Amino acid sequence: MGHRVTLPKLFEHPVTQKYVKRAGLAHAVAVAYHAFYLAKERNVDVDTAAKAAFLHDSGHYMWYRNGEWDYELYKANDIHAIKGAERAHKLLIRLGEDRQKAKEVAVAILLHTDSYLPGQSVDRTPLQTVVAEADELDEEPGGAHHYRKMSDEQAKKKLKELDLRITEVLKAQDEAIYPK
């Protein structure tokens, strides 16, 4: 296992600071935790799942129109999954992420919701399913999950803790593949 982009490192970046916060830091952190546990349970790569989950809503934009939240208009024009996929990919590549992993994160973000897709069914891989389900686990009526508050200090602490757990799982998986 070579160089890994950690969650605290990801958190510090100005792109994360601007765009993850816009869609709600508390939601991003909560979904990252859900994704970690689901991925661990299902033998999906925990690092990829947590990163995709943490960045899944980073494509949100245009929250208000004339100072007012217009949910119907927003929904009709929403492409946040597309924007988020691209944004997360660019960010991860900049931080030196493995290209294959950056792509997997981007596609998982692209497919975390199907609200913008024609037709109803998306055939998701286990990783993509983990990210979509993790998001659903944290959803609140009326989009309230985007407005829950979390301080930077709290987020940093939680992400550091999650990153430690990710490291432990990766180490255990590594040892299972390459026994000492």
Residues 6+ apart with CB under 8 A from 166: 7, 36, 46, 47, 50
Q: How far is the CB of 55 from Fe ion (least distance, A)?
A: 10
In terms of CB distance, is 45 or 135 closer to Fe ion? Answer: 135
Q: How far is the CB of 65 from Fe ion (least distance, A)?
A: 19
* DSSP state at residue 120: S
In terms of CB distance, is 143 or 167 closer to Fe ion? Answer: 143
In terms of CB distance, is 96 or 125 closer to Fe ion? Answer: 125
CB 162 within 8 A of CB 36: yes
Full DSSP string of 19-54: HHHHH-HHHHHHHHHHHHHHHHHHT--HHHHHHHHH
Using CA atoms, how far residue 23 sits from 58, 100, 144, 176, in Å, is 7, 26, 11, 38
Q: How far is the CB of 22 from Fe ion (least distance, A)?
A: 12
Q: How far is the CB of 108 from Fe ion (least distance, A)?
A: 12
Q: How far is the CB of 180 from Fe ion (least distance, A)?
A: 40
In terms of CB distance, is 144 or 172 closer to Fe ion? Answer: 144
Give residue 125's identity as a one-letter amino acid code. T
In terms of CB distance, is 28 or 180 closer to Fe ion? Answer: 28
Residues that bind Fe ion (CB under 5 A): 57, 113, 135
Helix (H) or strand (E) holding 103: helix 99-110
Q: How many CB atoms lie within 10 A of CB 28?
A: 26
In terms of CB distance, is 135 or 163 closer to Fe ion? Answer: 135
* DSSP state at residue 178: S
